[in-house]
Structure 1
Amino acid sequence: MASIYKRGKTWTANILVTVDGQRKRKTKSGFLTKTQANKWAISVEEQKNTGKLPYSKKLFKDEYWSWYTIFKEPHIDENTKSWYLATYRLICDNWSDMKMSDVSVKELQLLINQYAENHVKSSVTHIKNMIGAFCRYAVDEGMLAKDISRNIVVASKKQGSNRDSKFLEHDQFLKLIELANEQNDITSKMILTACYSGCRYSEIAALNANDFDFKNNTITVNKSWSLQEKAVKKPKTNTSNRIIDMPTSFMNIAKGWNMSGNYSFQSTTGYPMTDNACNKKLAWLLEKLGAKQIKMHGLRHTHASYLLANDVDIQYVSERLGHAGVDITMKVYAHLMKEKRFKEKDKTIRLLQNL
């Protein structure tokens, strides 16, 4: 609400605004008439409502870093931290002198477009989401007039790897299991466990002897290994806590493994074997088989694809993988769901034609 009053022979107008999270009065004097003062006040109100009024003179990069260190860093895992830090580096490299009052939808779109030149769409989306989370906080704290990330368009000229290239064909999968079983090194045992369980590397690395139930043929997943911190952490999500049913054939093999250390797959360092070591061994095995190259996480995709292709219920597969919901499973394996839909359509037509 504007306040307009006469001071001597001229008129003064002031209006309440929020700057750096604090309510202040913006004042201007020297108007010859009350009408002029009122017009100025209306103009400032308009700027407030359209986000054109400067809300903070602080640097965008400094406020982002402050927000990250206080509200995010203490509560997130290392993988998520890496995205916040990548976003901060991008801001520092391109907006080193950008003030909170100067950022706009246009400036952010240009930044996102630039990043998209050399990064796949999923990475661009991560960056946009990190900046968006900060912008919403800045709006709540009165540092920005509006969320400048809301209408940002995410695209990319760089193509990501094809979903089909992330998992093995069924015959390659079976041959890999056979060859891995013939090896006696720790990384091969981790690869074999990934094939049969569909677990993430971080989940396999955190396993210890108590997680293997040889009576009920199950593996309990209730923790995750952080490579960066060299420590056991909580699983990725609450639904990652699960008990996985395992085939007797695998459990009979695992019975013969030495799991006397703190971890089932412990190296000479006293820590689990690294994902890099696992990926190197997996590359060697796949090269020996003449199969396409995938990473350890690709075994998780292969495991799920194998089950879904053999008509295992998607709800069960989702629970087995520890997904937060079946919608995530359907999104990740949409290519298989599309193939299954065509098969189900053909089966439906055949049934109806026999009526």
Structure 2
Amino acid sequence: MATFRKRGKYWEYRVKYTDSAGKQLVASHGGYRLKSSAQDAAEAVEDDLKRGGDPSKQDVLLLDYWDQWAEAYRINGKSINTVYRYKLFRKHLKSRFDGRKLNSIRPIEWQKFINDFAAGKDRKEKTTRKRPRERSKDIVTKMNSYVRGMVKAAINERILFSDFTFGTKTSGVRSSGKVKVLDSRDFAKVKAIAIERASYRNIGALAVYIGSMTGMRISEVLALTWPDIDTKLCVIHVTRSWDHLYGTGFKPTKTDSSVRDIEISPSVIELLNKIHQEQAASYLRTGYRDEDQMIMRDPRHNVITDSACNKALHVIQNKAGIPEDKQITFHGLRHSHVSYLISKGVDIYYISKRLGHSDVTITMKVYGHLLDSQRKQEAHKAVLFMDQL
């Protein structure tokens, strides 16, 4: 039963209870201007006790519990990208709920937070936009989903008795579902300019050329070493990737199936041999020794960044006369590579293996819309052949 006392101008409640170990404890809190407010708070504590709650856990802060939960269940042993995402989400939670108790968050507060997060109201960008740039629905859904996972854990621990994320509506910019690619004419221009500019002093152009000719991810291109190039069989061995986000060096490929061999043309080998000779001559002059035998090192002996690769691609696209609104990023080279192969009738199963997809259904899901014209051709052949039967 709760008792109340007035200390100065404020009321305090005290609720005696027995914990799960049989120990007698007291839950107390003060600072209420009205006795009725203290009575309401005490009644809430007693209700929680009846439901099996532990008052000693009621003061836990949202951010503190997020840290405990994420460390215990989510980020231990996970990839750098996963850890970064949890830290990023924590930063956004801190901006709105710093110092707030976990059990004080109301559903309407959470919905408003999600609405503002989706609208990008927290973004402070140097831009001419009249409104903040909205976030994608995918990232907004992830934020809500991660916090919902934390809330469920808190309910299991009897810290919470209801889910403040229940019924939350997520919004944001929906992906068109279509990948951005260069048409075959522009793609050919990019390839031609890249091979013309590629040299030891312009490694970015080499990266663009390799990306165009192989469809490799940027992290895979940056991780290439000279032993990965089989000059006799004209094959690139993809065995690992490069951490271009955090600069930690080599890391495993995105998936197990990403470890693969990619067939290349003799012209690619010819260019690589030329640049290998240029690199070796430079190292001989400077006395530099590269134990990793990296291909994508610039004249300062640093592995080039993803930003440098995208900048090189941007320069090449400008040179090719491609309008800004039609230009692609480095990852768009991968999509353009696939688009070109599909347009030439290359088997989708081979393309899937070339990309390092674990299953052809992944390839079909991403590039299915590019297969429409091929489907029409195959349908025409099927009807024609059946007519000839």
1:130 equivalent to 2:146? Answer yes
Contact 2:138–2:174 (Cα < 8 Å) also in 1? no
- For 1:221-300, list aligned pairs within 5 A: 221-227=238-244, 228-258=246-276, 261=290, 262=292, 263-291=294-322, 292-300=326-334
2:173 corresponds to 1:173: no
Q: Is residue 304 from structure 1 mapped to residue 304 from structure 2 by the alignment?
A: no
CA deviations 1:294-345 (Å, max 9, x no partner) are 1111111111222233332333222222224333222222322444444444
Work out the number of aligned pairs and report it.
322
Match of 1:218 in 2: 235
Match of 1:114 in 2: 116
Q: Give the corresponding residue for 1:6.
A: none
CA distance in 2, matches of 1:26, 1:352: 84
Q: Distance in 2 between matches of 1:23 and 1:141?
A: 18
* Partner of residue 103, structure 2: 101
SS for the counterpart of 2:274 is coil
Contact 1:199 1:321 (C-alpha < 8 Å) held by counterparts: yes
How far the C-alpha of 1:244 sits from its partner, in A, is: 1.8
Q: Secondary structure of 1:244's match? A: strand
Instruction: Tell me by how many angstroms 1:149 deviates.
Output: 5.1
User: Are the structure 2 counterparts of residues 128 and 217 from structure 1 closer, same or farther at C-alpha, using a change threshold of 3 Å?
Assistant: farther
Once residues 347 and 145 of structure 1 are traced to their aligned partners in structure 2, the CA distance between those partners, rounded to angstroms, is 63
Residue number among 82, 89, 92 corresponding to 1:90 in the alignment: 92
CA–CA distance in structure 2, aligned partners of residues 133 and 276 of structure 1: 35
Change (3 A) 1:133 1:268: farther
Matched residues in 2 for 1:321 and 1:132: separation? 35
Identity %: 29
- The structure-2 alpha-carbon separation of the partners of 1:347 and 1:138, relative to structure 1 and needing over 3 Å to count, comes to farther
1:266–1:71 CA distance, 2 compared to 1 (3 A): farther
Q: State whether structure 2 residue 178 is matched by structure 1 residue 163.
A: yes
Structure 1's 180 and 335: CA in aligned 2 closer, same or farther, altered over 3 A?
A: same
Structure 1 counterpart of 2:139, one-letter code: S
Q: TM-score scaled by structure 1?
A: 0.76
| 1:333 aligned partner | 367
Distance 1:248 1:346 in 2: 36
1:189 match: 206
How far is 1:205 from its partner?
0.8
**Cα pair 1:54 1:101 within 8 Å, conserved:** no
Residue 75 of structure 1: SS of its match in structure 2? coil
| Partners of 2:139 and 2:219 in 1: CA distance | 21
Contact preservation (8 Å) 2:75, 2:82? no
Q: Structure 1: which 5+ runs fail to align?
A: 1-13, 28-39
The AA in structure 1 aligned to 2:298 is S
- Alignment deviations for residues 242-299 of structure 1 (CA, whole Å, 9 cap, x no partner): 2222223322322222265431111244331111111111111101111232111111
Alignment deviations for residues 11-43 of structure 1 (CA, whole Å, 9 cap, x no partner): xxx9999xxxx999999xxxxxxxxxxxx9xx9
Q: Select between 279-288 and 142-151 the one with higher mean Cα deviation.
A: 142-151
AA aligned opposite 2:232: K
User: SS state of the match for residue 357, structure 2?
Assistant: coil
Q: How many Å apart are 1:232 and its aligned residue?
A: 1.3
SS class of match (1:84): helix
Find the counterpart in structure 2 of residue 32 from structure 1: none
Letter in 2 for 1:313: D
Contact residue 55 and residue 100 of structure 1 kept, 8 A? no
CA contact (8 A) 2:204 2:308 kept: yes
Q: Aligned pair in 2 of structure 1 residues 130, 257: CA closer, same or farther (>3 Å)?
A: farther
State whether residues 213 and 337 of structure 2, in contact with CA within 8 Å, keep that contact through their aligned partners in structure 1: yes
Q: Hey, what does 1:319 align to over in structure 2?
A: 353
Q: Which amino acid aligns with 1:293?
A: Q
Calculate the TM-score normalised by the size of structure 2: 0.70
Supply the distance in 2 between the matched residues of 1:103 and 1:153 (Cα, whole angstroms). 16
CA distance 1:111–1:284, change in 2 (3 Å): same
Match of 1:8 in 2: none
Which amino acid letter does the alignment assign opposite residue 253 of structure 2?
Answer: P
- Give the alignment's Cα RMSD to 1 decimal: 3.6
Supply the AA of the counterpart residue of 1:297: H
1:243 partner SS: strand
Aligned mates of 1:23, 1:237 — CA distance in 2: 51
The answer to whether the 8 A contact 1:108-1:148 is kept is yes
With over 3 angstroms needed to count, the CA separation of the structure-2 counterparts of 1:128 and 1:271, relative to structure 1, is: farther
